[in-house]
Amino acid sequence: MIELDNIEKRFGDAVILKDISIRIPEGSVTALVGPSGGGKSTLLRCINLLEIPTAGTIRLGEETLTFKPGQKTSWQAIQKIRRQTGMVFQNFQLFPHQTAIENVMESLVTVLKWPKEKARNRAMELLTKVGMAHKADAWPSTLSGGQQQR
């Protein structure tokens, strides 16, 4: 579950997000639509804490973080939230010297410190989930743009 309560994000005097509250149940599919410059990417970056909200509360699963203007958020608290999120950027870059499965495994091994076998099993589950199991050993240069993004 993702829940945002009264999220605000400011860059200096510019208010980008103001009083954003939403509850997204686990397993649901949600689309975020709006005009260019409307704050969609900033909201997504706030959810996974690539941008730190100026104010408000974020709940992801069992983790809750509250933000107040001028209050610093600890690195440990940020990491607890980030471990539960993932984000596919519009301009993604796969490691060209690693296969599809190795690219998926990378964050599991590097960030979460999983053993390689556990990471490989989870990576294969994820590739299967997005219809890419047959491309596990493919190099990024042989994949279409959509396949690379998945």
List the domain boundaries for the chain: 2-82, 100-149
What is the pTM (predicted TM-score) of this model? 0.62
Structure tokens given for 61: 């699963």
Closest to 83 in 3D by CA, of 115, 61, 58, 57: 61
Residue 127 has pLDDT above 90, yes or no: yes
Q: What local confidence, expressed as pLDDT, does residue 94 receive?
A: 87
pLDDT band (50, 70, 90) for residue 141: confident
CATH number of 2-82: 3.40.50.300
Model pLDDT for residues 83-115, shown as the tens digit of each residue:
878 766 655 688 889 999 999 999 899 988 999
Q: Can you tell me the mean pLDDT for 122-133? A: 94
Model pLDDT for residues 17-36, shown as the tens digit of each residue:
999 999 999 888 888 888 87
Site of tokens 């076998």: 117
In 10 A of CB 85, how many CB atoms? 14
Q: What local confidence, expressed as pLDDT, does residue 38 receive?
A: 86
Q: What local confidence, expressed as pLDDT, does residue 41 receive?
A: 87
Spatial contact of 114 and 125, defined as CB atoms under 8 Å apart: no
Start-end of H helices in 56-150 = 75-82, 100-110, 116-129, 145-149
Model pLDDT for residues 38-95, shown as the tens digit of each residue:
899 899 989 989 899 999 999 998 889 999 988 899 999 888 888 878 766 655 688 8
For residue 45, with 0-12 CB atoms within 10 Å meaning exposed, 13-18 middle and 19 or more buried, which class applies? middle
